[in-house]
Structure 1
Amino acid sequence: MTQKTKRHNDPALAEARRNQVLCAAADCFRRKGYHGAGMAEISKTAGMSAGHIYNYFASKEAIIESIVERDMEEMFSIFKEFADKPGDRVTVLLDGLDRGVERHTDLNQGALDLEMLAEAARNEKVANLLRGSDTHARDSMRELLVGERGPLQGTALEEVNARIEVMFSVMGGLLLRKMLNPDLNINELHKALRPAMKTLLLPFE
């Protein structure tokens, strides 16, 4: 049954409550999976009644949508930081690799990412949300590479797109490597990753 969220007189309090629910839901999804975590479990973890949660989210699917949107906002903030940072763009991006590696080797966050992907295989709406997020991420990266101060200005668009796919594949694959090899040496990984990424960020000779 579709629920309707209600208007709130205190936007700051409503936002705090929404974040409380999102954090609780993310924890439940990591521990029990999307289908194993019902609204009763989420409400217990959040410390509020299911009816109270429905004041902020119309459904469990709406919670997933908000989690994806929150991740997108965080991602766009990082891309904007890269765009606004002065200096050589390649150096800026390479210096930001540590944050990307930290994010993609965080098994706690990774468990939620994998659960979202698994749900996307069954749920077309969730799949479209994740695809939209990926499209925006690729667009933002492309702008960093070919826009003002971009290191790949003048490079064929098809080549730029292919490089972005390789970069994203490498970063996304770190989670799998960390899960299969918990002893992964992050410091040595940085040393190997930096020159590989630098090659992808510079024009081929």
Structure 2
Amino acid sequence: MTHKSKRHADPALVEARRTQVLDAAADCFRRKGYHGAGMAEIARTAGMSAGHIYNYFESKEAIIESIIEQDMQEMFSIFQEFEEQPGDILTILLGSLHKGVQRHMDTGACVIDLDMMAEAARNNKVATLLHEADTQARDRMRQLLISDRSLLKSHSEQELDSRINVIFSMMAGLFLRKMLYPELTEETVLIALRPAMKTLLMPFEVHDEVL
């Protein structure tokens, strides 16, 4: 992904201003949705003039692109932590499951994700960006599952893809459940999600023996 902005003498200031705009945009998208939040509204929330904001982002679509890139960088950081932790992949992923549940039940953060998904249905560029992010997330997950520390390292590509897609679907669906059932808690979800995830991260033929 690339960004077009005017040249500035101080790269640190540019980055600070871009972050300021992205934070303001995220706040506006949460409150008003993608289409309800115009560049003027984002500029006001960021404490900038409407003209000033274009020094850092040429359009609202460019802001969405940067938000998706931020999410990707956060995802890469999480996978990097998984890869650097000692021990088997099953233990590492199950030990971090509560963090994933927290993130996917955060209605403030996820409402932006949902809005971007809706935008992707009518905006090919946003759809392409989200598809790229999903592809990279699945690739990183696949690398974990075929590593020497994984019980699934010898499984076929088709089976790994099936398991990864089911895992991602379960996690992504938590936001919708939280929206429809606000009383839902992380602890309640983990009662069923932890054994379900354990099943998906183990060879089916040895699952009963291990459990």
d(CA) in 1 for partners of 2:94 and 2:100?
Answer: 10
Q: Which residue of 2 aligns with 1:22?
A: 22
* Superimposed CA distance per residue, residues 68-124 of structure 1 (whole angstroms, 9 cap, x where no aligned partner): 000000001001100110012100000110110000000001111111111111100
User: How much does 1:13 deviate?
Assistant: 1.1
Matched residue type, 1:8: H
User: How much does 1:147 deviate?
Assistant: 2.1
d(CA) in 2 for partners of 1:111 and 1:69?
Answer: 17
Q: Is the 8 A contact 1:143 1:150 kept in 2?
A: no
Q: Deviation above 2 Å: which 4+ runs of structure 1?
A: none
Q: Is the 8 A contact 2:57 2:63 kept in 1?
A: yes
d(CA) in 1 for partners of 2:33 and 2:128?
Answer: 19
d(CA) in 1 for partners of 2:91 and 2:109?
Answer: 27
Q: Which residue of 1 aligns with 2:150?
A: 150
User: How much does 1:150 deviate?
Assistant: 2.3
Q: Which residue of 1 aligns with 2:11?
A: 11
Matched residue type, 1:179: M
d(CA) in 1 for partners of 2:150 and 2:14?
Answer: 40
Q: Which residue of 2 aligns with 1:199?
A: 199
TM-score by length of 1: 0.96
Q: Which residue of 2 aligns with 1:137?
A: 137
d(CA) in 2 for partners of 1:148 and 1:33?
Answer: 44
Q: Which residue of 2 aligns with 1:77?
A: 77
d(CA) in 1 for partners of 2:77 and 2:5?
Answer: 28
Matched residue type, 2:104: H
Matched residue type, 2:159: E
User: How much does 1:151 deviate?
Assistant: 2.2
* Superimposed CA distance per residue, residues 30-87 of structure 1 (whole angstroms, 9 cap, x where no aligned partner): 1111111111100000000121111111111100000000000000100110011001
- Counterpart check, 1:35 vs 2:35: yes
d(CA) in 2 for partners of 1:31 and 1:136?
Answer: 29
Matched residue type, 1:35: H
d(CA) in 2 for partners of 1:108 and 1:94?
Answer: 25
TM-score by length of 2: 0.93
d(CA) in 1 for partners of 2:5 and 2:72?
Answer: 23
Task: Give the 3-state SS of the residue equivalent to 1:56 in structure 2.
Answer: coil
Name whichever of 164-173 and 33-42 sits farther off.
Answer: 33-42
- Counterpart check, 1:161 vs 2:195: no
Aligned residues between the structures: 202
* Superimposed CA distance per residue, residues 117-174 of structure 1 (whole angstroms, 9 cap, x where no aligned partner): 1111110000000000000000000000012322211101100000000000000000
d(CA) in 2 for partners of 1:102 and 1:7?
Answer: 39
Between the two proteins, what is the percent identity of the paired residues?
66
User: How much does 1:185 deviate?
Assistant: 2.7
1:86-101 superposed matches below 5 A: 86-101=86-101
CA RMSD across the alignment: 0.9
